[in-house]
Structure 1
Amino acid sequence: MQLKNSVVLIILDGWGIGRQNEADAIFKAQKPTLDLIKKEYPMFSLQASGIAVGLPWNEPGNSEVGHLTLGTGKTLFQYLTRINGDIRNMSFFSNPKLLNAAEYIKKNNSALHIVGLLSSGTVHSSVEHTKALLQFAAQQNIPKVFLHVITDGRDSYPQYAAQMLEELTLKMRKICPQAKIASLIGRTFAMERDNHWERTKIAFDLLVNQGGAFIENPIEYIHSEYSKGKFDYLIDPALVAENGQPIGALKENDVLLFSNFREDSMRQIAQSFVDKNFQYFPNKTPDGLFVLTMTDYLNNLPHNTLFETIFEKETVKIPLAKVLSDQNIKQFHIAETEKYAHVTFFFNGDNEKLFPGEERVLVPSLPLVNFENNPEMSAAEITAHIKETVSEHLADFIVANYANADMVGHTGNFNATVKAVEFLDAQIKEILEVAQKNNWWVLITGDHGNADEKINLFSGKAKAGHNANPVPLHIIHPTVRNKMVNLSEHQLNETSQGILSDVATTVLAIMGVQKPDEMTGRNMLELIK
């Protein structure tokens, strides 16, 4: 086919349209390039949360859902929505996989261990899902039930776990009185996803080898960690013990259930339990251990026989990457480690394999737990790759993720987030210069809000999580210069013109490629006057 135009799609992770107030780090940053873009080129507001991306109403979006919707050009009902629906209609409690696990426990007189993130957000997990699992255990009269709590601090307030655990404990006594808190660990270890296997080993050893401090009161322990200046994501591993022995040690024929619904951050810890070819550290587990994952963490990885996935994923047949591949269009996907899965696996419709003509580059993230001290992250290296690909015309479509606004935003450090935004503005300037020289179109969007709302203006506390704000879509090319969408930024926040699934359709329209019927998004060029 005759290609019309080449496109760079820049995804600024965690970049929403805020209220232009004291909580908005994007508004407070000095960003001359993006300010000029807003004045001279069309800008749209896209819904990136709730029903628009297949989540419950007003539920903040996240990177996984955002990239999946951007790359597939359609709204897919997400795991969170599907699980919530099954809980509401009560089919959750008759799920064959759960019933099978309950029978296994009864047959072997063993225990149920639930491992999951305790968070006020619903990016990776839901407290309601934990409550439903406890209700299931009570209905099935499972006598030994243990909760292994992963503390958050990223998608909830940095020091919120103690309060949440206290509230959960009260609920647990009513729902499932026999259940007990068995262990605690920060998500930095249990939800490691960037191949720092030494962190995963710490979580594995906690669950299998009693590798952690022995404590009596988990809430008091969390407060003691706070007194050392620690945030929830760095809580050191600890086991609740009685008479010098852990109360919830994994034993022969037990059932281990990972309750997070988001897959990417649970893949490593799940692998360590069920991967047949695991090589990263010694991973001997108790004989007969039956492992369940709430969703499909392993994506067809060879696994042990005693393994089940409760909710299977929906398949996407024709994501944007496949549409381009079918037209023999070369494409280039790039991100640093923190977001690499998002521009590859998720953007390609939960597909791990490359499509023909697709090249991927992973830029290593800095080996840091906290990015507030280096808000530039690895953005400059990403920019260098993009400039080379455009100037040498090594591909005709580029999708790039810049993680800065999201990852630094998750620290809750307002000033560091401002610096991250300002550094990104400089990267965009460099990309625009080379794109204009080579007649490329540039689209800039976000996947969800974060950096645009970093302070709770009522309490004054830092906010570390996502929000339900819309995200921008900037369309930049000489042919649309001064062709505007006549709305103020306040109006753009209050009144969205589109949703994330519109981006893929717009990319195809710019490139002159027929949109497949499976894509439901709208061509936003039609709204430019």
Structure 2
Amino acid sequence: MYVTMDRYENDWDVVKRGWDAQVLGEAPYKFKSALEAVKTLRAEPNANDPYLPPFVIVDDSGNAIGPVLDGDAVVTINFRADRMVMLAKALEYADFDKFDHVRVPKNRYAGMLQYDGELKLPSRYLVSPPEIERTSGEYLVKNGIRTFACSETVKFGHVTFFWNGNRSGYFDETKEEYVEIPSDSGITFNVAPKMKALEIAEKARDTILSGRPGTCQPAKW
């Protein structure tokens, strides 16, 4: 939630914190072991696992022992494709400009899966992604039923991409409406757990009252 993986290009600072630690070997905290790191950081006031700050494990000279270097192989493994796409762009795109890489190691990068079939990202992957056919959204639209999907940025893929079997875009733009409510960048969910629930509810209410028949998929928890 705080280091390496964000979603839908909502907060590139999250990815940069991970890049600095994992690739450059630079972080605000340095420890001799992962056990020491977790015990120390968990002891901080209001600490919880998803929001622990970045740290690196160092040798006796204070140098990071595991930065990504030229010649390394990198494999990213995560069940959630939306959590991997931004990092995959940072690792693979030659024209990446969302933050300063400082150093780009020459390595061979692969994902466990191809996380975005339309972007073909990453270009190398270990397991072909499953093809999900005849989803509920596709079924409804092909039977002439209008659909409405609304969520905030960090959950938008739940009601569009995932809901449609890992496909972006529409099956039929004349029968589907997708509405994205921008998420508040930099505000963590443990501080603002209601997120954009009120705005999503209001948009869903307005759509229902407009008289256009459809289905609503609010923020997924």
Q: Which amino acid aligns with 1:204?
A: W
Equivalent position of 2:33 in the other structure: 217
Cα gap change, 1:370/1:326 in structure 2, threshold over 3 Å: closer, same or farther? closer
Q: Is 1:228 the counterpart of 2:44 in the alignment?
A: yes
- Choose 1 or 2 for highest CA Rg: 1
Instruction: Name the CA distance, whole Å, in 2 between partners of 1:286 and 1:374.
Output: 37
Q: Is 1:241 the counterpart of 2:58 in the alignment?
A: yes
Q: Is 1:312 the counterpart of 2:128 in the alignment?
A: yes
Instruction: Name the CA distance, whole Å, in 2 between partners of 1:336 and 1:361.
Output: 8
Matches within 5 A, 1:361-440: 361-367=179-185, 368-371=187-190, 373-394=191-212, 396-403=213-220, 406=221
Q: Which amino acid aligns with 1:344?
A: T
Cα gap change, 1:386/1:273 in structure 2, threshold over 3 Å: closer, same or farther? same
Q: Which amino acid aligns with 2:18?
A: A
Cα gap change, 1:292/1:285 in structure 2, threshold over 3 Å: closer, same or farther? same
Where structure 2 has 5 or more consecutive residues not aligned to the other structure, the ranges are: none
Equivalent position of 2:116 in the other structure: 298
- Greater fraction helix: 1
Equivalent position of 1:323 in the other structure: 139
Equivalent position of 1:188 in the other structure: 2
Where structure 1 has 5 or more consecutive residues not aligned to the other structure, the ranges are: 1-186, 407-529
In the TM superposition, residue 256 of structure 1 has moved relative to its aligned partner by 0.7
RMSD: 2.1
Cα gap change, 1:303/1:341 in structure 2, threshold over 3 Å: closer, same or farther? closer
Equivalent position of 1:335 in the other structure: 151
Instruction: Name the CA distance, whole Å, in 2 between partners of 1:226 and 1:303.
Output: 35
Contact 1:275-1:302 at 8 Å conserved across structures = no
In the TM superposition, residue 346 of structure 1 has moved relative to its aligned partner by 0.6
Which stretches of structure 1, 4 residues or more, deviate above 6 A after TM superposition? none
Instruction: Name the CA distance, whole Å, in 2 between partners of 1:248 and 1:265.
Output: 22
Q: Is 1:282 the counterpart of 2:107 in the alignment?
A: no
Cα gap change, 1:205/1:308 in structure 2, threshold over 3 Å: closer, same or farther? same
Instruction: Name the CA distance, whole Å, in 1 between partners of 2:194 and 2:52.
Output: 26
Q: Which amino acid aligns with 2:2?
A: T
In the TM superposition, residue 233 of structure 1 has moved relative to its aligned partner by 1.4
Instruction: Name the CA distance, whole Å, in 2 between partners of 1:220 and 1:270.
Output: 29
Cα gap change, 1:322/1:311 in structure 2, threshold over 3 Å: closer, same or farther? same
Instruction: Name the CA distance, whole Å, in 1 between partners of 2:121 and 2:158.
Output: 24
Q: Is 1:259 the counterpart of 2:74 in the alignment?
A: no
Contact 1:295-1:311 at 8 Å conserved across structures = yes
Cα gap change, 1:319/1:234 in structure 2, threshold over 3 Å: closer, same or farther? same
User: What TM-score, normalized by structure 1, do the two folds share?
Assistant: 0.38
Instruction: Name the CA distance, whole Å, in 1 between partners of 2:204 and 2:121.
Output: 38
In the TM superposition, residue 217 of structure 1 has moved relative to its aligned partner by 2.2
Cα gap change, 1:402/1:300 in structure 2, threshold over 3 Å: closer, same or farther? closer
- Greater fraction strand: 1
Cα gap change, 1:264/1:215 in structure 2, threshold over 3 Å: closer, same or farther? same
Q: CA-to-partner distance for each residue in 1:258-305, whole Å, 9 max, x for gaps?
A: 122321212211221113453311335212x1112112223332557x
Higher relative contact order (CA 8 A, sep 6+): 1
Instruction: Name the CA distance, whole Å, in 2 between partners of 1:302 and 1:313.
Output: 11
Instruction: Name the CA distance, whole Å, in 2 between partners of 1:300 and 1:339.
Output: 19
